């Protein structure tokens, strides 16, 4: 028992030696979930902000955001600007993107010149695959437009005009045929649209909730009897052959309704009752619900956990963002909020006693945001007025790195708490101590020059020696030649073996050893002959 207790208090200690001037990652903190809190303390009295070792927190990386953009509408030049004015009157038709919708992993973009552009996701990038022009009165595109995919048909809800397009199988020829839908909307009044299967749900503010079913090319309306004050947003899920509708009322909060397509009856989900957080925007992902409410140029986001087995709910956290958001998308671990001048990443499902710092990133003047998931990768996609953006999102691990400028030894204690792996539940802790010592490189930069200098001298000395040797060699050779000439003038064969001195010399230069042998053999031959 005593031994167990002592063991559990022993923290593991790791020792490192790091070269000065060489940044090095000491450890990656691999956790299956989010790191909720991290502490790095130094046992020696030291200011950690100027410490050579720092912890880099987990980050949701959006890689090369601006490089991964596709200009949809060429940027117009100042001199062309006048063409958008009639008699000094602004014609209101500066080309721009209005909206986009996901078609599987691909995207359809609508511009205010009624052009539909099909972008195909291919080889980790997007390419323009098809384009058509809608035959409509362009003035209606000055009002809000909603695009939805309902069972292989693109439905475009415009002010007083609703159009459908059948989508084909080939990306290069995706827009097959268009048809008119005889149900028209005042899109100024539409707050939010949701589509599941062939059902279309529209939150109309004080106009309440409208439900339609698309049969062929006809939108059939379904009666909704419950009274609603001000329907601002909604989310719909299809499960167990019924539709669960979560409707956000600006005054009352969230109510849930169930639509049974067989009986065509709608009834209120009394088990859930009403979640009394009113607001402007709602999102639900798995059992996480977020309700955003605008207040004094801020957005207050309530984070709620739903339990679908008994439809109980619990408010677990509250997040404050310092600007008004346009949309919120919940993903695993994080929620991304879309604002006019930037986007914020909030970490969710964290015990409320903790708060992880929000992370911000900028996607310039984004007007709409969405996601695609392919082969385990998550891509954030969005449009600004003229560009289409996409970016891979991934949670990068936290790590400890050190960079020393001079000789030093630091003793560090690191600890973090994080979500546990799937097997265990709750909060897990991790502790690690380090002794990190900086060491001088074996050769410093100044020393390097000295070494070069020495090498240079050694090399020149070597070359001089070789040159001298060669000279001596030649002398010797000539001497031997002369000797032979004097001693053996009559023997022709031996004369042949002694080739011309120049030729022999050439040989010497390249293969010193063998040439030495040849000379030795020549000398021995000399003796033989003698």
Residues that bind ligand NAG (CB under 6 A): 37, 39, 47, 49-50, 123, 137, 139, 205-206, 230, 232, 250, 280, 286, 307, 309-310, 415-417
Instruction: Closer to ligand NAG by CB, 80 or 287: give it.
Output: 287
For 519, the token pair is: 């000379």
Asked if residues 133 and 117 have their Cβ atoms less than 8 Å apart, the reply is: no
Q: For residue 369, what are the β-bridge partners?
A: 382
- Two tokens at 432? 């690690």
By beta-carbon proximity to ligand NAG, the closer residue of 232 and 256 is 232
CB 272 to ligand NAG: min, Å:
12
Characterise 225 by phi-psi region: left (phi > 0), alpha (psi -120 to 50), beta (else). Answer: alpha
Q: How far is the CB of 45 from ligand NAG (least distance, A)?
A: 10
CB of 230 to ligand NAG, least distance (A): 4
Q: Minimum CB separation from ligand NAG for residue 50, in Å?
A: 5
> Do 72 and 78 touch, CB atoms closer than 8 A?
no
CB nearer to ligand NAG: give 232 or 344: 232
Q: To the nearest whole angstrom, how small is the minimum distance from the Cβ of residue 379 to ligand NAG?
A: 15
329/481 with CB nearer ligand NAG: 329
Backbone dihedral angles phi then psi of residue 53, each to the nearest 5 degrees: -115, 135
Residue closer to ligand NAG by CB (options 215, 309) is 309
Give the residue with the Cβ less far from ligand NAG, 50 or 486.
Answer: 50
C-beta of 424: minimal distance to ligand NAG in Å? 14
CB 247 within 8 A of CB 257: yes
Q: Which residues contact 522 (CB under 8 A, 6 or more apart)?
A: 480, 497, 498
Cα(74)–Cα(226) distance, rounded to whole angstroms? 48
Report the candidate in 1, 142, 36 with the shortest Cα–Cα distance to residue 357.
Answer: 36
Taking the complex as a whole, the smallest distance from the CB of residue 60 to ligand NAG amounts, in Å, to 17
Strand pairing report for 427-439 and 409-419: antiparallel
Number of residues that make up the chain: 530
What are the residues facing 108 on neighbouring strands? 101, 118
Residue 170 is classified by DSSP as -
Give the integer Cα–Cα distance in Å for 508 and 467: 12
Q: Which is nearer to ligand NAG, 95 or 208 (CB)?
A: 208
């Amino acid at each position: 028992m005593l031994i167990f207790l002592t063991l559990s208090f022993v923290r593991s200690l790791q020792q490192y030696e790091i070269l000065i001037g060489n940044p090095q990652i000491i450890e990656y903190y691999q956790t299956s979930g989010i790191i909720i809190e991290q502490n790095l303390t130094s046992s020696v009295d030291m200011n950690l902000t100027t410490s050579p070792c720092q912890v880099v927190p987990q980050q949701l990386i959006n890689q090369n955001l601006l490089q991964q953009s596709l200009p949809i509408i060429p940027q117009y030049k100042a001199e062309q600007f006048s063409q958008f004015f009639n008699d000094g009157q602004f014609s209101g038709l500066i080309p721009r993107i209005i909206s986009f919708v996901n078609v599987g992993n691909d995207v359809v973009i609508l511009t205010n010149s009624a052009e539909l552009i099909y972008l195909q996701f291919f080889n980790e990038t997007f390419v323009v695959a098809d384009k058509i022009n809608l035959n409509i009165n362009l003035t209606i595109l000055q009002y809000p437009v909603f695009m939805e995919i309902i069972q292989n048909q693109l439905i475009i809800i415009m002010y007083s005009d609703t159009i459908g397009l059948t989508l084909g199988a080939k990306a290069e020829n995706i827009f097959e045929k268009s048809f008119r839908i005889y149900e028209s909307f005042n899109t100024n009044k539409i707050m939010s649209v949701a589509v599941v299967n062939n059902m279309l749900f529209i939150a109309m503010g004080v106009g309440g909730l409208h439900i339609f079913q698309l049969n062929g090319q006809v939108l059939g309306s379904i009666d909704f009897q419950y009274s609603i004050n001000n329907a601002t947003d909604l989310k719909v899920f299809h499960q167990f052959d019924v539709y669960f509708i979560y409707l956000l009322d600006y005054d009352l909060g969230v109510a849930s309704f169930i639509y049974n397509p067989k009986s065509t009856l709608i009834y209120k989900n009394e088990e859930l009752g009403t979640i009394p957080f009113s607001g402007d925007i709602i999102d639900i992902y798995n059992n996480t619900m977020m309700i955003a409410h605008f207040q004094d140029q801020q957005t207050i986001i309530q984070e709620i956990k739903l339990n679908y087995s008994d439809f109980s709910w619990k408010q677990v956290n509250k997040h404050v963002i310092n600007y008004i958001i346009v949309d919120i998308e919940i993903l695993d671990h994080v929620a991304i909020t879309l604002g006019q001048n930037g986007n914020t990443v909030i970490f969710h499902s964290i015990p409320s006693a903790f708060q992880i710092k929000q992370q911000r990133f900028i996607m310039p003047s984004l007007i709409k945001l969405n996601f695609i998931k392919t082969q385990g990768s998550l891509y954030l996609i969005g449009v600004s007025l003229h560009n289409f953006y996409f970016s891979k999102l991934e949670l990068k691990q936290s790590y400890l790195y050190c960079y020393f400028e001079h000789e030093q030894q630091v003793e560090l204690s690191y600890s973090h708490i994080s979500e546990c792996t799937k097997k265990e539940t709750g909060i897990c802790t991790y502790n690690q101590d380090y002794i990190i010592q900086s060491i001088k490189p074996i050769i410093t930069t100044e020393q390097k020059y000295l070494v070069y200098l020495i090498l240079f001298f050694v090399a020149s000395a070597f070359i001089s020696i070789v040159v001298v040797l060669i000279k001596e060699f030649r002398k010797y050779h000539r001497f031997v030649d002369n000797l032979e000439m004097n001693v053996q003038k009559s023997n022709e064969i031996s004369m042949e073996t002694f080739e011309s001195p120049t030729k022999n010399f050439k040989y010497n230069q390249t293969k010193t050893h063998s040439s030495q042998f040849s000379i030795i053999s020549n000398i021995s031959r000399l003796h033989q002959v003698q």
